[in-house]
């Protein structure tokens, strides 16, 4: 597995259009890999005043077209091997985390068709959103303290998937402290993502080292901004 980071130039019109329409970035990410199409996790991150595209993938990608279309002239992307980091994870470790997700719930209220599935609604209040992640954490291999994490950003995204389908989703960014309770289950959550709408920049969970916690080494590598990768 590989975790890559690409700086995006938000002064470019193409970049701002892509940030408001995740379908554009989804297509750009998928075009970065040869062979059979695979679902790769990605997320938009901000570090200080710089916007980055993070991508978690099974194969190394070629992101030249993303840099050319949305990045800075003559800039390069960064890619790190994710596997050494995964091997160092253990049950009981405590990490800082960041997750952009699409907290939702299902309801049969107002549903007129015969589908066995309920209609999906977004959680809109911070309390609802936090309760969603608390419930999810129990099956995703980590523990949360209700006062140990928060919603740091929340926004509606409205965009076109194609000429016929319109997408509306609520994207929420969580940040705080977690404890690994089941390391194998937790690794799967890192690799598969958490929640719905992963094609549109939701679901990617990343970690950063808390100084003096776990094994005392700077695994999170905040200096480079690629959280969740082993330091060089």
Instruction: Output the domain CATH number for residue 105.
Output: 3.30.70.1210
Q: Based on the structure, what is the number of domains in the chain?
A: 2
- Report how far residue 195's alpha carbon sits from residue 209's, in angstroms, rounded to the nearest whole number: 24
Residue 64 in any domain: the answer is yes
pLDDT, tens digit (0-9, with 9 covering 90-100), for 124-158: 888 999 999 999 998 999 999 999 999 999 888 88
pLDDT, tens digit (0-9, with 9 covering 90-100), for 16-43: 999 999 999 999 999 999 877 778 999 9
Sign of CA dihedral 91, 93, 94, 99: negative
- Report how far residue 38's alpha carbon sits from residue 196's, in angstroms, rounded to the nearest whole number: 16
Q: Which domain holds residue 114?
A: 85-208
Are 200 and 102 members of one domain? yes
Residue 171 in any domain: the answer is yes
Q: How many CB atoms lie within 10 A of CB 149?
A: 21
pLDDT confidence of residue 100: 96
pLDDT confidence of residue 119: 79
| 59 pLDDT above the threshold of 70 | yes
Q: Which of 133, 179, 180 is nearest to 152 (CA)?
A: 133
pTM, 2 dp: 0.85
Residue 228 in any domain: the answer is no
The number of residues making up the chain comes to 232
Is 46 in contact with 52 (CB distance < 8 Å)? yes
Are 57 and 33 members of one domain? yes
| 217 pLDDT above the threshold of 80 | no
Is 85 in contact with 228 (CB distance < 8 Å)? yes
């Amino acid at each position: 597995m590989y975790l890559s980071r690409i700086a995006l130039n938000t002064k470019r019109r193409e970049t701002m259009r892509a940030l408001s329409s995740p379908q554009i970035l989804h297509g750009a990410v998928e075009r970065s890999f040869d062979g059979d199409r695979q679902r790769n996790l990605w997320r938009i991150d901000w570090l200080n005043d710089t916007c980055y595209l993070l991508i978690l993938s099974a194969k190394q990608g070629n992101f030249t077209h993303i840099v050319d279309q949305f990045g800075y002239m003559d800039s390069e992307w960064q890619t790190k091997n994710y596997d050494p980091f995964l091997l160092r994870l253990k049950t009981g470790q405590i990490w800082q985390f960041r997750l952009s997700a699409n907290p939702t719930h299902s309801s049969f209220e107002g549903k007129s068709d015969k589908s066995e599935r309920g209609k999906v609604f977004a959680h809109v209040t911070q309390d609802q959103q936090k309760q969603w992640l608390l419930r999810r954490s129990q099956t995703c291999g980590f523990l949360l303290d209700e006062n140990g994490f928060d919603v740091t950003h929340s926004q509606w995204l409205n965009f076109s998937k194609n000429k016929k389908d319109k997408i509306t989703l609520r994207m929420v960014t969580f940040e705080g402290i977690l404890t690994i309770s089941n390391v194998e289950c937790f690794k799967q959550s890192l690799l598969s993502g958490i929640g719905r709408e992963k094609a549109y920049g939701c679901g990617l969970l990343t970690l950063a080292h808390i100084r003096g916690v776990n094994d005392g080494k700077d695994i999170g590598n905040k200096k480079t901004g690629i959280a969740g990768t082993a330091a060089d």
